[in-house]
Chain A
Amino acid sequence: MTEHRSGPRRRGQGELEVQVLSALREADGPATAGWVQERLGADLAYTTVITILTRLLAKGVVTRERAGRSFAWTPSSDEAGLAAHRMRRVLDAESDREAVLASFVTSLGPDDERLLRELLGQARAEGED
């Protein structure tokens, strides 16, 4: 994480989401947006932290509860959960992603399922010989 603090260069939203989530996960219990901002360094505006936290909330990666006049935030998932959510967004947005990413299996046609079960049954029977 040290490379992210190397300078005031403009950071992508995705990168910020990861940083805010990591910071929250380092906290003992619920933390406020102010705490997260302090933790991440001074070059991040308070409103930016709130924006990022709200976006993480929409993704179901963090939860929040009222604590006085502000919110206390708790992580409900780890970095892998956030990555899984974002990957699904990428995949769902591409209608023909199979043109780009070689998927392990492609979708099955109408008769394929029956044929496949037959083949696998046959493989199992031969395997037991």
Chain B
Amino acid sequence: MGVFVFLPLVLPLTAWPVARLAEQHLHPRIATRLLTALSAAMALCSTLCLGLVMVVGTAQLPGNPLPDGWSDPEVRAAVPFDEVAGKVAIPALLAVLAACGRALWRHGRVRRRAHRALAGLPDTGVAVLPDGVPYAYALPGGRRDRVVVTTALLECLEPAERRALFAHERAHLAARHHRFLLAVQLASLANPLLRPLRTAVSYTAERWADEEAAQAVGSRRTVARAIGKAALVSRGAPSLTLAGFAAPGPVPRRVAALLAPAPVVRSWPSVFTEMGPAAWSAAAGTAVSAMSSANSAVTMLFILHAATPL
């Protein structure tokens, strides 16, 4: 299988252009689904290949529980640089598994604790908390999905803007956005090269909910005002970016997108725009990634089967 086994580890690079361009040129719903699917597929392939390389690495270690045949020269010849790659793959795979496990556990814990905090309130879809700190978020799961919002945030919004806020949060819950966000989070932990896709999806998921809210309240400008006001009252410590390098953050970009005309839904971007080549190269990267990891997995199975004395 040669160097093909390492390809899925670096092929996420082919998705970088589409991650950057999809934010601006695709409908946020399509961008979210596309980028999440790319992330998940590439993360699975990359983890699979890491696993295959790890088997070779583990078989070299003295006292390992694997069959002796697995450390034969024929098996090791299947992986280039088997000495180094195999040994590096062991801690790498363990780190991936630990990070993903920890992320899943924390995800569950935050949701459980948040639901428990609301235990004494009436069982309604919206929980209004008397708090001086303005915040709002969608809380999925539990006995029922809930929108949590504080009085401080509601007080600074006009009635139409409040409707926009609730419509935005309900859109998150209705479209199960937390699953997309969790998927790209796990993918970016499995392969750090997928991080730009995670950043892109957390933005497009917000944009998706913004567009749904704009449709629900019938005014893009109202949603833009609600987001702008909420961001201005809840501004806390500035994020840790250097002022000189700071591109506009997600909030101004969302507001600007809402003040612009509504995005159109296209099934697949045209080849003649810059979006076309980016989408095609990401699709090709994913396909190559899937093929080389499948190829590596099958080759490895055959080699190990042949090397196993039964």
Contact = CB atoms under 8 A, between A and B. Distances in A.
A89 B119 contact: no
B231 interface: yes
Given A84-B131, A119-B252, A101 B230 contact: no
Interface string B120-160: 11000001111101011111000000001010010000000
A107 B238 contact: yes
B255 A120 contact: yes
B43 to A, nearest CB: 16
Contacts of B121: 79-80, 83
A119 B256 CA distance: 7
Contact of A80 (B130, B228, B236, B246): B130
A110 interface: yes
Interface stretch (A13-21, A38-46, A63-71): A13-21
Interface string A80-110: 1111101111110110011111111111111
Interface in B161-214: 165, 168-169, 172, 177-178, 181, 185, 202, 205-206, 209
Contacts of B136: 103-104
B130 A90 contact: no
Interface in B98-132: 103, 106-107, 110-111, 113-114, 116-121, 127-131
Contacts, number: 165
Contact of B114 (A18, A77, A101, A103): A101
B172 A106 contact: no
A122 interface: yes
Given A109-B246, A112-B252, A123-B225, A87 B129 contact: yes
A97 B129 contact: no
A88 B133 contact: yes
Interface residues of B, number: 65
Given A119-B252, A123-B259, A101 B137 contact: yes
A109 B137 contact: no
- Do most interface residues of chain A lie in helix, strand or loop, or is the interface mixed? helix
Contact of A119 (B111, B135, B255): B255
Nearest to A15: B119
Contact of B246 (A101, A111, A119): A111
B22 to A, nearest CB: 19
B64 interface: no
Interface string B227-244: 111111011111101010
A81 B130 contact: yes
Contacts of A127: 221
A100 B232 contact: no
B54 interface: no
A87 B117 contact: yes
A106 B250 contact: yes
Interface residues of A, number: 48
B96 interface: no
B221 A90 contact: no
A117 B228 CA distance: 8
Interface of B: 103, 106-107, 110-111, 113-114, 116-121, 127-131, 133, 135-139, 148, 150, 153, 165, 168-169, 172, 177-178, 181, 185, 202, 205-206, 209, 221, 224-225, 227-232, 234-239, 241, 243, 246, 248-252, 255-256, 259
Interface of A: 12, 14-15, 17-18, 21-22, 77, 79-84, 86-91, 93-94, 97-113, 115-117, 119-120, 122-123, 126-127
Minimum-distance CB pairs A-B, first 7 = A18-B120, A84-B129, A86-B117, A79-B120, A109-B249, A104-B136, A105-B231
26 contacts: A15-B116, A83-B117, A83-B120, A84-B150, A86-B117, A87-B114, A88-B133, A90-B114, A94-B110, A99-B107, A100-B106, A100-B111, A101-B110, A101-B114, A101-B138, A104-B137, A107-B235, A108-B235, A109-B238, A112-B249, A112-B251, A116-B231, A120-B225, A123-B255, A126-B259, A127-B221
